[in-house]
Amino acid sequence: MDYGNKAIKILVIDDDPDNRARLRKKLQTICCDVIMAENDLEGLQLGLIVQPDLILLDTKIKEMGGLSVCERLKRNQNTSEIPIILLVADDDLDEIVIGLEIGASDYVVSPYPLTELKIRIRKALLSQNDKKRVCDAACQSEKNLATKVADELGNTMALIGGFTKPLMKTLSGLEQSIPLHYLEEIMQLTQSGRELVDEYQLLYRSRSVIEDVDPIQLTDTAIQAFHQIIKEKDQSVLVECIQEETMMIKGNAYNLLSALSHLISNAHKFTPRGGQITVAIYYMDKRVRIEITDTGIGIPQALQEMILGNQSNRSGGFNSKRKGMGLGLTIVKSVAEQHRGKIGMESREGKGTRIWIELPAHVQDRDIARRFSYVS
């Protein structure tokens, strides 16, 4: 069994020599390096020194007990990410539940059938590998986003200065009237900047939480958050979804919701009163696409290229109708990349915009078909 083009290392912690011999024989059939620990303390030490890809842990080990060993391994930052499969002597539900709650990835019941053991090991390693890929992608996209944030905030500060200078000159020559629209622009720009920085900090703090996310539920939650302001603007939202199987996204629910909320917010903000916003969910081969189409003002070609091409907006060009759009879409792109996905768009100024995020997905339950369409 290979893991990232290298033989995997499995640490077995079991104080029963007969069990160790049986497990060694079974594990050698799947071509992996097997390290044996004869007691709890040796297991903890080898976990730190060897840094195995996976640990098989006997829950009935003497002295401190298997569950205590599991808890210590999960509390130590040097071993906390190593998947642990519990070896249980019988189908003890309470023991299994406690083990899973303190961080074990899975369990297998004695006599540990080889086929079941292989499946559970492969599942634990693939899950760990997926998490590592998501984290690696997150680190890279964070670097890209940090550059974008610096550029956009620099431009925002420059704009504030640009508005402030004429304001000072105007005020110095006026005795009675004050151009309040300058102050309003300044307040809107600074508020927008603060909100985006706060959101980036939340995205950064929550990036490591990985779970199964239902794209339909995610979309519904995002739409409901904007229901009232969409209604106040006499806009309609059409949601379309054709789903042959229950597909799930492996990722961070908060970050995905933030990205989708940005897209719906932009569609609402830049679509005129009485316009329509269409949200469509498409399921393709191991991927899901969430697409938002509006009848708004459109996105200039230069801004599209800046977002999709990771270019910096150093020109300082600004359109008050579109302020906040660039950094918001940059956050969407960053979240898509964190989840090994991508963002795409088609837009014509004055005609509207179609933006989508495409993400890897997996089937949760087969033989489930849902087709629906509704208007809010």
> According to the model, what pLDDT value does residue 11 have?
92
Q: What is the pLDDT of residues 157-182, one digit of tens each?
A: 667 767 766 766 666 665 555 555 66
Mean pLDDT across 313-325: 45
For domain 9-112, the CATH superfamily is Response regulator (3.40.50.2300)
For tokens 């459109």, the residue is 298
Question: In this prediction, what percent of the chain has a pLDDT beyond 70?
Answer: 69
Closest CA to 302 of 285, 318, 324, 278: 318
pTM, whole model, 2 decimals? 0.50
- Sorted by where each begins, the domain ranges of the chain are 9-112, 135-375
Q: Identify the CATH assignment for 135-375 out of 3.50.50.60, 3.90.1150.10, 3.30.565.10, 3.40.50.1860.
A: 3.30.565.10
CA distance 294 to 312: 26
Q: How far is CA 173 from CA 177, 186, 222, in A?
A: 10, 20, 48
pLDDT at 279 over 50: yes
HSE-CB at 261 with a 13 A cutoff on CA atoms is 14
Phi, psi of 78 (to 5 degrees): -80, -15
Per CATH, 9-112 and 135-375 having the same topology is answered no
Per-residue confidence at 120, pLDDT binned at 50, 70, 90? Answer: confident
Closest CA to 148 of 335, 371, 326: 326
Q: What is the pLDDT of residues 18-54, one digit of tens each?
A: 888 888 888 888 778 889 999 988 999 898 888 888 9
> According to the model, what pLDDT value does residue 223 have?
92
